[in-house]
Structure 1
Amino acid sequence: MEGQFRIDANRRTLFVGLVCVDILNLLPKYPEEDIGHRCIDYYKQRGGNASNSSTVFSLLGGNAEFFGTLADDTELSFIQRDFEKFGVIFKNSIIISEKTCPLSIVILSLESHTRTVLHTNKDLPELTLDGFVKNINLNSSEYGWIHFEGRDNAHEIARMLSYIKEFNKVNEIHIFTSLEAEKLRIAPYLDELDMWKLPDIMFVSKDFARNQGYTSMEQAVTSYYKKVKTGAVVICAWGEMGAAAMSDQSGLVTSPAFPPSEILDTCGAGDTFIGATLFALGQGKALQKAIEYGCKVAGSKCGVQGFQNLTLLKDVFSQFQLSS
């Protein structure tokens, strides 16, 4: 399937979903309850699955845009400056007044290499089809790929994917679509709304698959592949085991993980995998090569604290140039 998902370099990949602010606290080990603890370090960064994936995609040299709702509060300028810093377009995002920016408190343990996320989203509305149609002009030929982070607005995501599907039926230039199933809350809607059959690529996380009873990435993709539409692809990253994928052309393919010499921060590794894999597929790489590339870039991210150090991330990712 080499070249199946290649898109022109001048066409953007749109990442649809959440952007929030992350406050990350680095501790020697996971804290005990009801006593004080001193952190080794802390830092603040722009977060959210789709937001992180757009950052990685841009750092790798891709033409990335983020689309979501933004709260017009004290964090708005920080988020906008950070998108600009990483070269991610966000001009079409919807700014909503009198709402609060979502916030994540992340506990990073050096001992166990775990990240524990405490997320709060007070009142920021999710995206709707109406907002998508009003702000994203598919007829402009700007977009080659649209990736959706699976969130609580599953009904609206299904409508947006269906809208793109209908657009593709009557237009010569095809827009590829992908959907991430990470949050367990979306699970019932994938079947209820028949969302498995809407995207060209379905990304399924390890935690999502394990919650549904699967014990390996190979087992997960083989089973989920039966649910997707003809010609679609299922991809599942499985942490330290690597990733697996399946398509009608490639069959089952796998990649090992590529951990760094020292694991510093696994927060955002899954988002990194998605951003890097989409970049490789958009460059025309075969499915097995694309997930291997995703694993390499995600592994390198685990050796870097956060996403806030632009220069360091560029240096780390620069070693993974896509071969011809």
Structure 2
Amino acid sequence: MDGEFLIDGSRKTLFVGLVCVDILNLLPKYPKEDIGHRCIDYYKQRGGNASNSSTVFSLLGGNVEFFGTIADDTELSFIQRDFEKFGINFKNSIIKSNKTCPLSIVILSLESHTRTILHTNKDLPELTLHDFANSINLKSSEYGWIHFEGRDNAHEISSMLNYVNEFKKAHGVGIYTSLEAEKLRFAPYLDELDMWKLPDIMFVSKDFACEQGYTSMEQAVSIYHKKVKAGAVVICAWGDIGAAAMSDQSGLVTSPAFPPSEILDTCGAGDTFIGATLFALAKGQALQKAIMFGCKVAGSKCGVQGFQNLALLKDVFSQHQLSC
């Protein structure tokens, strides 16, 4: 299976989904209710699943673009500067006037190594097929991979995936697609719209699988693999256990987790796993090596605060890249 998803480095990987602003508060332990607490530290960063995965992909040296809706409010300049800082193309994103940027307040507990997310999205519209078809030029052949974050606009995501698949069939263009199923409210649409059979790779989170009654990553990928189209891959990261994947070619493959010596920030670990795994696959790595690389990079991410320490993350990622 080596090289099955290899794409030319000149072609971009497009991450489609949310960008928001995260305010992260680091505390010794999870706060008690109705009393004041002093934080050890706090920081602000660009967030959102697809946004975070695009950051990791870029840090690893990938050619990447983010596509989503962005509110034209006080956070717009921060988001634009941060995309530019990490070398992420966002030129085709849709700027929405008179809307509010989604905001996440994240509580990080050093004692329990948990991250609790309080997310607010007041009025920013989700992407539509019209947005995608009018902004992303598939005929340009600049895109080698398109990854979709599973969100509330499931009908539109289904339409976008079908649009890409129909274009590939009509023009004979090789564009790989992947879809992330992390949010539990996304689950009913996967069956209702038969979305399991649309992407080439389906990423499923531990929380998503557990909510549906699965008790291990091996069990989850084995059952989910029966739902996807022929030749497609299912990948499931299982936190501190590791990750599992399955395809017709490889069968069931697994990787252990690679935790850091000290866990500082697990926020974005799943997004990191996706970004790193896609990077490895796009470089021609076999499925088992790709998920192992994803686990290594995600583990390293948990040992640093946020994504803002660009130099440190580049060093950490490059070390794993050499052994990928």
Q: Same fold (TM over 0.5)?
A: yes
Contact 1:144 1:175 in 2 (8 A): yes
- 1:139 match: 139
Indicate the SS of the match to 1:223. Answer: helix
Matched, 1:104 2:114: no
Indicate the SS of the match to 1:8. Answer: coil
- 2:93 match: 93
What is the Cα deviation at residue 58 of structure 1?
0.3
- 2:148 match: 148
Contact 1:17 1:148 in 2 (8 A): yes
Contact 1:280 1:322 in 2 (8 A): no
Matches of 1:316 and 1:290 in 2, distance apart? 17
Matched residue type, 1:24: L
Matches of 2:322 and 2:214 in 1, distance apart? 32
Matched, 1:49 2:13: no
What is the Cα deviation at residue 171 of structure 1?
1.9
TM-score (norm: length of structure 2): 0.99
Matches of 1:223 and 1:43 in 2, distance apart? 40
The answer for unaligned runs of 5 or more in structure 2 is none
- 2:33 match: 33
Question: Where has structure 1 moved over 2 Å in runs of 4 or more?
Answer: none
Contact 1:5 1:281 in 2 (8 A): yes
Question: RMSD across aligned C-alpha pairs, in angstroms?
Answer: 0.7
- 2:164 match: 164
Indicate the SS of the match to 2:321. Answer: coil
Matches of 2:64 and 2:76 in 1, distance apart? 19
Contact 1:11 1:143 in 2 (8 A): yes
Contact 2:204 2:234 in 1 (8 A): yes
Matches of 2:105 and 2:296 in 1, distance apart? 27
Indicate the SS of the match to 1:308. Answer: coil
What is the Cα deviation at residue 318 of structure 1?
1.7
What is the Cα deviation at residue 95 of structure 1?
0.1
After superposition, where does 1:274-293 map in structure 2 within 5 Å?
Answer: 274-293=274-293
Contact 1:57 1:64 in 2 (8 A): yes
Matches of 1:312 and 1:40 in 2, distance apart? 21
Matches of 1:315 and 1:16 in 2, distance apart? 27
TM-score (norm: length of structure 1): 0.99
Indicate the SS of the match to 1:275. Answer: helix
Contact 1:15 1:67 in 2 (8 A): yes
Matches of 2:95 and 2:313 in 1, distance apart? 29
Matches of 2:20 and 2:122 in 1, distance apart? 12
What is the Cα deviation at residue 323 of structure 1?
4.9
Matches of 2:321 and 2:164 in 1, distance apart? 31
What is the Cα deviation at residue 322 of structure 1?
4.5
Query: Percent of aligned pairs with the same residue?
Result: 85
- 1:305 match: 305
Indicate the SS of the match to 2:308. Answer: coil
Matched residue type, 2:46: R
Matches of 2:323 and 2:293 in 1, distance apart? 10
Matched residue type, 1:265: D
Matched, 1:182 2:182: yes
Matches of 1:323 and 1:102 in 2, distance apart? 38
Indicate the SS of the match to 1:170. Answer: helix
Matched, 1:319 2:319: yes
